[in-house]
Amino acid sequence: MTLRAKVLTVSDGVVAGTREDRSGDVLVERLMAAGFEVTDRRVVADGVGTVRDALVGMSEGFAGLIMTTGGTGFGPRDLTPEGSSAAIERTAPGLAEAIRAASNSEGRNFGLLSRAIAGTRGQALIVNAPGSSSGAAEAFDAIWPVVEHALDLLAGGHPH
């Protein structure tokens, strides 16, 4: 099974060119090191519609993992979960819970402040990750052990 992935960075600052996309870089590095072929990488401004539209487009005819980074906190423009929810057909709360449980940056559990969600759209698995480099890395590391099996199930493997 070929593992494919896409990365969506949600950040007004990255779109404006005032911030580097470090968390997107970290996700691409982690994905490639885990054997994924990263087939698309996009950046959109914060907002429900921008996230929804990007995820709908990125998942069209795609079987694989789509990770978002950014916009999952309490800031007024942090609307990635709402945009993701508008695109997701079936939720996968265990993945988001695993990411929250794994977050322990600098000895503080910032995962408690995450509003991130995960779910599926067609054969795509969509997972929100934090916008910090360390948070994005922790998020991928938390879900990696089950991603290949999840993608296999989405593709029709292991019928019950």
pLDDT at 113: 85
Q: pLDDT tens digit string along 24-43?
A: 999 999 999 999 999 999 99
For residue 25, what are its two tokens?
């870089």
Confidence of residue 109 (pLDDT cuts 50, 70, 90): confident
61 lies in a domain? yes
Kindly state whether residue 159 falls inside one of the protein's structural domains: no
Strand locations in the chain, DSSP E? 4-10, 37-44, 64-69, 90-91, 118-121, 124-129
CB-count exposure of residue 31 (10 Å: 0-12, 13-18, 19+): buried
Whether residue 160 is contained in a domain is answered as no
Task: Give the tens place of pLDDT for each residue, 55-100.
Answer: 999 999 999 999 999 999 999 999 999 999 999 999 999 999 999 9
pTM: 0.95
Tell me phi and psi for residue 37, to 5 degrees: -95, 115
- In a domain, residue 116? The reply is yes
**Mean pLDDT in the chain?**
94
What CATH number has the domain bearing residue 147?
Answer: 3.40.980.10
The pLDDT value given to residue 107: 66
What's the domain range around 80? 4-154
Under the banding of pLDDT at 50, 70 and 90, the label for residue 1 is confident
Instruction: Look at residue 108 and tell me if it is in a domain.
Output: yes
